[in-house]
Amino acid sequence: MTPEQFSKLPKFVQEEITKLKRERQSAVDALKRFCDAETPSSIWTEDHVCDGVSRGPTTRVHYIQSRWLHINHADISMQILLRGDGGQNGHPVIDIQYGPADRTSGDIVCQPRSYQQFYFFNKEK
């Protein structure tokens, strides 16, 4: 909407749009402050959201203060544990366990996809 089009709107509509823009900017600023204040850790989520801050998506990172991550997706349950002690030859390791989400049926396939990448899927589905 151009400034000229905006000026032709009724006064109460202009005020409401201005108020909503202010509230939106306040929410974006609060989210940025929250994310920036988090303590970095070895586990995080990353999302790409279109929040109007830039032309394209903005990357949002949320750090998780844990060593153990559980993921349930597509009838697959996966646990990822960061082991800092007692790993291979005393080195830290990432321990990955996976299986059917209901823990009773189906075999989960770990299929190589590309260099150091894998697909996990339930071959029964």
Mean per-residue pLDDT pooled into runs of 10, the chain (125 residues): 90 94 89 84 87 81 89 90 74 87 80 91 79
pLDDT of residue 64: 87
pLDDT of residue 1: 82
pLDDT of residue 8: 92
pLDDT digits (tens, 9 = 90+) for 15-51: 999 999 999 889 888 888 888 888 888 888 898 888 7
DSSP 8: T
pLDDT of residue 17: 94
Query: What percent of the chain has pLDDT above 90?
Result: 26
Phi/psi for 76 (5° steps) reads -120, 135
Please state, in angstroms and rounded to a whole number, the distance separating the CA atoms of residues 26 and 96: 40
- Say whether 94 sits in a helix, a strand or coil: strand
User: How long is the chain?
Assistant: 125
pLDDT of residue 70: 93
pLDDT of residue 13: 93
